[in-house]
Structures are given as C-alpha cells and as structure tokens.
Amino acid sequence: MKQTTIAVHAVWDEDAHVWTATSTDLPRLVVEVASLDELDEEVKTLVPKLITLQKKPTAKEVLISMSHELVTSVPAMV
C-alpha cells in the first residue's frame, strides 16, 4: 500500500490565544491549543484515531505535513 500523507494547517487566533488546526485530508480533525508543542502532540494523537474511525485505508505509517500561519496586528505608527 502506498504511503499516506495528511496535510494539516494551523492558524493562530490572536483574540482567543489559541492555535486552530484543521485538515482537508481528514475533515473531522479540529484542534485548538495554546502552544505549537501542544498542537504537535494533539495532532499526532488524533490523526491515527480519526483515520481508524473513518476506516480510511492507509500504509503502516502516516506522514503528517503541518503548516503554521501566524497573523498578528501591531500598533500603527502615528
């Protein structure tokens, strides 16, 4: 069986102070955590569980490709 890659995209929510991660490859994946370390841990835990629940055929190992986007505001100079 060929290798499976799950792309995960995380965005920083400045108002809520959390990282929110989702994946079009795994539609049920939604993670909100306070740090990138927590995000990494949660995604690594949830991806195999969701693959099993969705009964998606996979290789013995799944690659997780995670991208992060940090959008923040700064005061404008007056």
Residue spans per domain, the chain: 4-69
Tens-binned pLDDT, residue by residue, of the chain (78 aa): 577 889 999 999 988 999 999 999 998 999 999 999 999 999 999 998 998 888 766 667 889 999 998 877 788 887
Confirm whether pTM is higher than 0.85.
no
Topology, domain 4-69: TTHA1013/TTHA0281-like (3.30.2390)
Whole-angstrom CA distances from 46 to 36, 39, 54, 69 are 15, 10, 12, 20
The H-or-E segment that residue 51 falls in is helix 36-53
